[in-house]
């Protein structure tokens, strides 16, 4: 028998896609394990019953409500380790592509591949899995499972009854939550891997749909439904626009009469990149399609003016979900955006990209708006949401510098490295900040008010100190990792914009007028960074100098505390010393691989 | 690890550890732990002082730089093997000291145990003394690192312990003062950072120091040796001015001095002592080490600005002192006035003048902590700082009065005390360069004598009843006491050193003038001859 299964056709496939395979197995396990029971099927006409193990009375051991959380964390950990394998010296499958038929191309020599597992995509999957892992860890304490939860006694009333019901509810939805998290992981890694726009869209939607549900997941909170509705409506409109843009690109890539050459693949002789390069002057159809695609990713990275849902979503949902939105979801948006901007629409060296002005304006508006809005909010989660908007602006500035056509090979590599590294370290300190907020919101304090952080330094000095470090890292204070990533971005922009060799100009004014206008993005970034210090330090001020509104200590929540300490160490170590160099090297590998295409 | 690295890193590590230790000991042993941690802090500080003294003794400071190699390779003592910290952007752990930094290093290690001693019985002593030890690490870091990035990092790090010292242990209006202090100096150092970054973007690759991604480096030694650091003259001037703003704010010089009086008045005694004794000197140190050394041409061009800033600080500081009724505020403004002299000394472009400025940094570092210690104990025992609310201090607290008198005299420049040496050197050099203009700073020193003598007369001596004096209302009938023994020991050491360095200034003055002649003859000389300024 001749089975034409891709899996059997190329045994390497399982090895290349090991992280994704692990997640698939995890999804199956999450569905199967909690449902294991003593169900049997009676063979018709006989008295024999065959056990099928699915359904019936569930086994005590496997129906433990703690199991889904364990499976999900374990799976994410394994997937992260598998993703990181790409960066280990001597690993053979560093750069592997997979064609639509499932054929494996080592070294990506072919031109018809749709998935590409290289350091670039693997670094992004590492970021996704790490952020999701932190979110999961936080949720294990935020939404704890109780083995001994019982239905409320009929005589119970009021708070006791609600408490008992909530414990039961938490047990019930463990499986759902972790299943959704794994779907997010799968969707995101498809986005990072795919070099085909349609596949990319499928990954995007897989992740997005799961995220919409997750945003609304803590439905006992009044705000989460509202947040999710807003996020869903805006997000689905953005996705629709993206899809429409893709269809326009598809039409454009083929000729009017012959759709055989039409393609949504980024690579290959008929690919969008090649068609884009071959275009003499900008085709309106291509420009409109391209712009529409950008809208969808602009929403994901919460760039102004597509950011309006983000602050509501962040502040309405639970802190662990806000963590995932701010780190993993944003990194996913950038993973795709960079692929599209750099691989598809990158001009030759010396020529300006068509999207340069668009991205440049988007960048400066985004960072300024984000910072000004963050300055004027008294809601920590909203503040972090706006700070996330501002950070998107910084990264867009780096992309604009790439599009200026002034960046040589080394500078381009530096810029992409900076962006990737920033997204990587963002998953350390931004996650850390949201994890601390998770702790504060667990005891029912309203984290949507600055008051919830008042006097945190007295209630829990270690968590407050960690939060302060995260704030400093977000502000980019040396020598924390947030500084290094911002510095690399600024360095790249300055090097690119002054590359015309006019450093010897006589006066400062002449010098300034001789640089490319992208230089001013670096200046805007520096000014914005200084501006942002005010609201980041404000968090420190209220934590240490205000009288606490509540004297209750923060909850025990060991998983969250471990995660916070881990984030703290990573934040510091990623800024200084050999570990930081390792991370930068990983980002450089990723950048090199991306620019090689 | 060489002894300098130990000297720099121990206080940071030990301070952080002791601070953390206090948080984790169980509640029932906390009292005892506090006591032990205090002793541990003091012990470490004293050991570090001995280590710094030993480094001072075993080094020949006169020949640290070879001709033609000022500030370059091998110009530093105890230079550490460079270790890459952030190799992607070229940040290196590279430290070393020379005649410019060693007096500051020694002064820091001296002032730390003394300031601990003077405020030995501070509340929450474990945290207080640990913060001071962390402060020591940050201050030493500023003076020893030879990497611009680490310089900036340590520079900002000094703000953190000082901010908390003011905020937690400060006076009634401490919150405002701490915030003002932080925002003011932080904004200024952002400008300095921009200057540093522009320098960074113009650095040529220098071996192992070079960043693997960016191709630039932060190493000061390599930057000193790089010919034509920035080609564009206009940009050079911009960078120089940016650096000047950063450093002048720290010094502080008029018109960017307004954070200082507030910070000083609200800061705890130990905080004031370190603030005036060492932190202000960071500004002058950075100015000489970076702004002057990297941009000699701009320095020479900007001599008029330096003279103006110096004169303005000197005169304005003294003028405002005359009108002060708050003892501590008066001493704070006197610091502004004395820092003006440092700018004047540098502006002379004479080896003698620059050496005088260096000695001023050192002498003021001995004297102003003494003044602030006296103010602190005055506040501690008499619960007020108003000049004139208390008469006849000499009767009630003879030791305090004695220290006050010695400190005041040293600060106004009495011969045979440390301040005098610096003032004379600067005045002579000023006369050599600017001729009779010297009358302006010289006559301003009369104002200095005026406000000191006046405040002394109204505090120490005068009283309607020579046997009782007048006690301030804030005493509420409390019996006046003299200073405690630990305050006495701390002040005594400072006073004795002020006398010692007044009689034997050569201990540091020789190496300072050696360094200054190096700066003038190797770095500034081209710019001076080009602009026809005769050194």
Q: What mean pLDDT is predicted for residues B8-19? A: 90
- The answer to whether the beta carbons of residues A62 and A33 sit under 8 Å apart is yes
Q: Are residues A235 and A206 in the same domain?
A: no
Which of A414, A479, A507 lies nearest to residue B234, judging by beta carbons?
A507
Chain B CB contacts of A462 below 8 Å? 23
The band of B535, judged by pLDDT with boundaries at 50, 70 and 90, is low
- How far is the C-alpha of B119 from the C-alpha of B129, rounded, in Å? 9
Q: Are residues A253 and A203 in the same domain?
A: no
Kindly state whether residue A157 falls inside one of the protein's structural domains: yes
> Residues B50-72: what's their mean pLDDT?
80
Q: How many domains does chain A have?
A: 3
Size of the A and B interface in Cβ pairs below 8 Å: 82
Confidence bin at A9 (pLDDT 50/70/90):
low
B464/B466 Cα distance (integer angstroms): 6
Predicted confidence (pLDDT) per residue in B471-507, tens digit: 777 777 777 777 888 888 999 999 999 999 999 998 8
For residues A444 and A391, state if they share a domain: yes
pLDDT band of residue B514 (cuts 50, 70, 90) is: confident
Contact yes or no for A488 and B152 at CB 8 A: no
Q: Inform me whether the pLDDT recorded for B46 exceeds 50.
A: yes
Alpha carbon distance A114, A4 (integer Å) = 19
A137 vs A547, residue with greater confidence: A137
Closest to B232 (Cβ–Cβ): which among A507, A530, A545? A507
The helix or strand, by DSSP H or E, that contains position B123, with its residue range, turns out to be none
Q: Using CA coordinates, name the residue in chain A closest to B189.
A: A530
pLDDT of residue A1: 41
pLDDT for the residue numbered B212: 81
Plot region of B277 (φ>0 → left; ψ -120 to 50 → alpha; else → beta): alpha
Cα B100 to chain centroid distance, Å, stands at 13
| Total Cβ atoms within 10 A of residue B464 | 9
Min Cα separation A556/chain B (Å) = 16
In-domain check, residue A300 = no
Domain final position from A197, A217, A237: A217
| A contacts of B235 (beta carbons < 8 Å) | 507-508, 511
Q: Is 80 exceeded by the pLDDT of residue B470? A: no
- pLDDT band for A507, please (50, 70, 90 cuts): low
Could you tell me the residue range of the domain that residue A235 belongs to?
A: 223-275+282-295
Q: Give me chain B's average pLDDT, please.
A: 87
Question: Does residue A510 belong to any structural domain of this protein?
Answer: yes
What 3-state DSSP class applies to B171?
Answer: coil
What is the ipTM, given to two decimal places?
A: 0.80
Specify whether A435 is located in the same domain as A364. Answer: yes
pLDDT at A349 over 60: yes
| Two structure tokens written together for A319 | 């802190």
Residue contact A526–B215, C-beta within 8 A: no
The C-alpha atoms of residue A158 and residue B510 are separated, in whole angstroms, by 84
CA distance B383 to chain A (A): 25
Q: Each residue of B149-192: pLDDT tens digit?
A: 999 999 989 988 898 888 888 888 888 888 888 888 888 888 89
User: How much of chain A is in helix, strand and coil states, percent to nearest 5?
Assistant: 70, 5, 30
Q: Which residues of chain A are within 8 Å of residue B167 when distances are taken between CB atoms?
A: 545
Residues A269, A178 within the same domain: no
**Minimal Cβ distance to A511: which of B85, B89, B232:** B232
- Whether B468 has a pLDDT exceeding 70, the answer reads no
Looking at the structure, tell me whether residues A70 and A159 fall in a common domain: yes
Q: Are residues A230 and A210 in the same domain?
A: no
Given phi > 0 = left and psi -120 to 50 = alpha, else beta, which region is B502?
A: alpha
Q: Which residues contact A532 (CB under 8 A, 6 or more apart)?
A: A371, A374, A387, A390, A474, A475, A476
Same domain, residue pair A500 and A352? yes
Q: Are B87 and A581 within 8 A, CB to CB?
A: yes
In a domain, A33, yes or no: yes
Minimal CA separation from A363 to chain B, in Å:
21
Asked if B232 lies within 8 A of A504 by C-beta distance, the reply is yes
Q: Chain B: nearest CA to A129, how far in angstroms?
A: 26
Q: What is the mean pLDDT of residues A389-417?
A: 90
- Do residues A112 and A18 make contact, with C-beta atoms less than 8 angstroms apart? no
Q: How many helices (H) and strands (E) does chain A have?
A: 23, 5
Q: Is residue A2 part of a domain?
A: yes
| Least confidently predicted of A380-384, A446-450, A586-590 | A446-450
A442-498 per-position pLDDT tens digit = 877 677 888 888 888 888 888 998 999 999 999 988 888 999 999 999 989 988 887
**Torsion angle defined by CA atoms of residues B71, B77, B83 and B84, in that order, rounded to the nearest 10 degrees:** -20
pLDDT surpasses 80 at A514: no
- For residue A499, pLDDT beyond 70: no
Phi-psi domain of B207 (left: phi exceeds 0; alpha: psi -120 through 50; beta: other): left
pLDDT at residue number A362: 92
Give me the pLDDT at residue A253, please.
83
* Cβ within 8 Å, pair A508-B149: no
Q: From the candidates B90, B232, B240, which should be mutated to test the interface with A, based on the most A CB atoms within 10 A?
A: B232
Residue where one domain finishes, among candidates A217, A245, A267: A217
Q: Are residues A497 and A407 in the same domain?
A: yes
Rounded Cα gap, residues B361 and B103, in angstroms: 9
Cis ω on the peptide bond leading into residue B255 (within 30° of 0)?
yes
Does residue A250 lie in a domain region?
yes
Q: Nearest-CA distance from A344 to chain B in Å?
A: 25
Tell me the pLDDT tens digit for each residue of B181-224: 888 888 888 889 889 988 998 888 888 888 888 888 898 888 88
- Summarised one tens digit per residue, pLDDT across range A28-77 is 999 999 888 888 888 888 888 888 888 888 888 888 888 999 999 999 99
Cβ–Cβ below 8 Å for A495 and B194: no
- Contact between B89 and A491 using a beta-carbon 8 Å cutoff: yes
Question: Is residue B465 very low, low, confident or very high in pLDDT (cuts 50, 70, 90)?
Answer: low
Burial of A450 (0-12, 13-18, 19+ CB in 10 A): middle
pLDDT tens-place string over residues A250-304: 888 876 566 667 788 888 777 888 888 888 778 888 889 999 998 889 998 998 8
Q: What is the pLDDT of residues B384-428, one digit of tens each?
A: 888 877 777 877 888 888 898 899 999 988 888 988 999 999 999
What phi, psi does A97 have (nearest 5°)?
-120, 155
DSSP secondary structure string for all residues of B426-489: HHHHHHHHHGGGGHHHHHHHHHHHHHHHHHHIIIII--SSTTT-B--GGGTTPPP----HHHHH
The nearest CA of chain B is from the CA of A504 a distance in Å of 5
- Answer whether residue A306 is part of any domain: no
Are A69 and A178 spatial neighbours (Cβ–Cβ below 8 Å)?
Answer: yes
Are the CB atoms for A61 and A45 separated by under 8 Å? no
- In the structure, what pLDDT confidence band is assigned to residue A506 with cuts at 50, 70 and 90? low
- Judge if the upstream peptide bond of residue B293 is cis by omega within 30 degrees of 0: no
Asked if A379 and A252 sit in the same domain, the reply is no
A465 and A596, same structural domain?
A: yes
Nearest residue, CB atoms, B234 vs list A413, A461, A509: A509
Are A177 and A252 found together in one domain? no
Is B23 within 8 Å of A581 when comparing Cβ atoms?
A: no
Residue A99: which region, alpha, beta or left (left: phi > 0; alpha: psi -120 to 50)? Answer: beta
Q: Which of A180, A200, A217 is the last residue of a domain?
A: A217
Residue A32: inside a domain, yes or no? Answer: yes
Q: For residue A36, list its beta bridge partners.
A: A54
Please tell me which residue of chain A has the smallest CA distance to B235. A508
B276-290 pLDDT, tens per residue? 999 999 999 999 999
Answer for the pair B244, B308: CB distance below 8 angstroms, yes or no.
no
Q: Are A507 and B181 contacting, i.e. CB atoms less than 8 angstroms apart?
A: no
């Amino acid at each position: 028998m001749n089975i034409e299964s891709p899996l059997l056709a190329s045994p390497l496939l399982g090895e290349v896609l090991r992280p994704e395979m692990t997640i698939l197995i995890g999804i199956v396990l999450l569905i199967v394990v909690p449902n294991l029971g003593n169900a049997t099927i009676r063979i018709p006409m006989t008295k024999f019953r065959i056990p099928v193990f699915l359904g019936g009375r569930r086994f005590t051991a496997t129906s433990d409500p703690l199991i889904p959380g364990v499976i999900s964390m374990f799976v994410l950990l394994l997937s992260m380790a598998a993703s990181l394998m790409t960066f280990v010296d001597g690993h053979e499958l560093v750069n592997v592509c997979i064609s639509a038929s499932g054929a494996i191309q080592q070294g990506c020599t072919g031109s018809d591949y749709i998935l590409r597992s290289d350091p670039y995509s693997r670094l992004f999957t590492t970021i996704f899995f790490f952020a999701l892992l932190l979110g999961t860890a936080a949720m294990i304490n935020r939404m704890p499972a109780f083995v001994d939860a019982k239905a409320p006694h009929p005589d119970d009333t009021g708070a006791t009854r609600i408490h008992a019901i909530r414990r039961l509810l938490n047990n019930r939805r463990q499986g759902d939550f972790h299943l959704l998290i794994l779907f997010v992981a799968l969707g995101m890694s498809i986005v990072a891997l795919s070099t085909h726009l349609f596949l990319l869209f499928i990954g995007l939607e897989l992740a997005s749909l799961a995220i919409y549900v997750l945003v609304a997941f803590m439905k006992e909170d009044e705000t989460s439904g509202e947040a999710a509705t807003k996020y869903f409506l805006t997000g689905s409109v953005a996705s629709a626009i993206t899809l429409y843009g893709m269809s326009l690109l598809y039409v454009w890539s083929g000729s009017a009469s012959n759709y055989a050459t039409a393609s949504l693949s980024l690579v290959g002789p008929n690919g969008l990149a090649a068609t884009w390069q071959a275009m003499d002057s900008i085709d309106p159809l291509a420009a409109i399609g391209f712009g529409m695609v950008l809208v969808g990713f602009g929403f994901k990275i919460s760039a102004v003016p597509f950011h309006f849902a983000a602050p509501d979503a962040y502040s309405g949902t639970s802190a662990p979900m806000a963590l995932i939105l701010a780190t993993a979801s944003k990194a996913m948006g950038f993973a795709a955006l960079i692929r599209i901007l750099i691989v598809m629409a990158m001009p030759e060296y010396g020529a300006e990209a068509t999207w340069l002005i668009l991205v440049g304006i988007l960048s400066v508006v985004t960072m300024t708006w984000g910072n000004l809005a963050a300055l004027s909010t008294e809601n920590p989660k909203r503040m972090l949401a706006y700070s996330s908007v501002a950070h998107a602006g910084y990264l867009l500035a780096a992309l604009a510098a790439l599009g200026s056509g002034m960046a040589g090979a080394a500078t381009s590599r530096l810029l992409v490295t900076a962006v990737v590294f920033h997204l990587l370290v963002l998953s350390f300190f931004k996650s850390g900040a949201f994890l601390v907020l998770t702790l504060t919101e667990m005891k029912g304090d309203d984290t949507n008010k600055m008051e919830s952080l008042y006097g945190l330094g007295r209630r829990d000095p270690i968590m407050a100190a960690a939060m302060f470090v995260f704030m400093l890292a977000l502000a980019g204070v040396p020598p924390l990792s947030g500084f290094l990533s911002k510095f690399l971005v600024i360095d790249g922009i300055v090097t690119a914009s002054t590359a015309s060799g006019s450093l010897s100009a006589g006066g400062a004014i002449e010098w300034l007028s001789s640089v490319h206008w992208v230089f001013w993005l670096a200046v805007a970034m520096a000014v914005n960074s200084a501006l942002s210090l005010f609201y980041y330090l404000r968090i420190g001020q209220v934590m240490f100098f205000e009288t606490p509104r509540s004297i209750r200590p923060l909850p025990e929540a060991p998983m969250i505390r471990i995660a916070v300490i881990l984030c703290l160490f990573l934040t510091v170590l990623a800024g200084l010393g050999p570990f930081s160099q390792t991370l930068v090297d990983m980002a450089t590998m990723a950048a090199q691989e991306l620019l090689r295409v | 690890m060489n002894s300098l690295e130990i000297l720099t890193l121990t206080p940071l590590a030990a301070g952080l550890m002791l601070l953390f230790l206090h948080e984790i000991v169980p509640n029932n042993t906390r009292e005892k732990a506090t006591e032990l941690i205090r002793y541990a802090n003091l012990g470490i500080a004293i050991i570090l002082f001995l280590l710094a003294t030993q480094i001072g003794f075993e080094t020949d400071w006169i020949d640290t730089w070879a001709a033609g190699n000022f500030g370059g390779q091998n110009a530093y003592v105890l230079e550490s093997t460079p270790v890459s910290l952030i190799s992607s952007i070229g940040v290196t752990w590279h430290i070393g000291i020379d005649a410019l930094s060693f007096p500051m290093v020694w002064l820091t290690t001296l002032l730390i145990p003394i300031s601990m001693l003077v405020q030995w019985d501070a509340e929450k002593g474990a945290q207080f003394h640990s913060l001071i030890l962390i402060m020591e690490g940050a201050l030493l870091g500023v003076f020893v690192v030879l990497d611009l990035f680490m310089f900036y990092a340590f520079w900002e790090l000094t703000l953190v312990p000082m901010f908390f010292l003011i905020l937690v242990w400060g006076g009634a209006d401490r919150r405002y003062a701490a915030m003002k202090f932080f925002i003011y100096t932080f904004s200024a150092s952002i400008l300095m950072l921009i200057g540093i970054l522009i320098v960074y973007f113009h650095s040529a690759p220098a071996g192992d120091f070079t960043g693997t991604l960016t191709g630039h480096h932060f190493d000061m030694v390599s930057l000193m040796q790089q010919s034509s650091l920035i080609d564009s003259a206009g940009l050079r001037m911009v960078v120089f001015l940016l650096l000047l703003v950063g450093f002048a704010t720290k010094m502080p010089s008029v018109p960017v001095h307004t954070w200082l009086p507030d910070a000083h008045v609200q800061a705890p005694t130990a905080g004031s002592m370190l603030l005036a004794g060492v932190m202000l000197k960071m500004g002058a140190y950075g100015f000489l080490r970076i702004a002057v050394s990297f941009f000699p041409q701009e320095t020479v061009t900007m001599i008029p600005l330096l003279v103006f800033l110096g004169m303005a600080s000197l005169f304005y500081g003294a003028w405002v002192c005359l009108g002060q009724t708050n003892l501590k505020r008066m001493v704070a403004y006197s610091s502004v006035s004395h820092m003006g002299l440092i700018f004047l000394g540098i502006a002379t472009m004479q080896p003698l003048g620059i050496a005088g400025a260096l000695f001023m940094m050192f002498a003021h570092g001995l004297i102003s902590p003494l003044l602030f210690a006296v103010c602190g104990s005055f506040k501690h025992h008499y619960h007020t700082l108003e000049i004139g609310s208390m008469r006849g201090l000499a009767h009630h607290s003879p030791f305090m009065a004695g220290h006050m008198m010695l400190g005041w005299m040293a600060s106004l420049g009495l011969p045979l005390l440390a301040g005098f040496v610096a003032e004379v050197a600067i005045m002579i050099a000023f006369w050599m360069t600017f001729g009779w203009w010297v009358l302006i700073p010289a006559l301003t020193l009369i104002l200095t004598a005026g406000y000191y003598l006046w405040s002394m007369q109204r505090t120490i001596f005068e009283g309607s009843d020579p046997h009782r004096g007048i006690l301030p209302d804030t005493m509420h009938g409390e019996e006046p006491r003299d200073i405690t023994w630990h305050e006495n020991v701390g002040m005594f050491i400072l006073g004795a050193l002020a006398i010692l360095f007044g009689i034997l200034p050569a201990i540091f003055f020789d190496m300072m003038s050696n360094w200054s002649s190096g700066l003038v003859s190797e770095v500034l000389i081209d710019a001076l001859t080009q602009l026809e300024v005769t050194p």
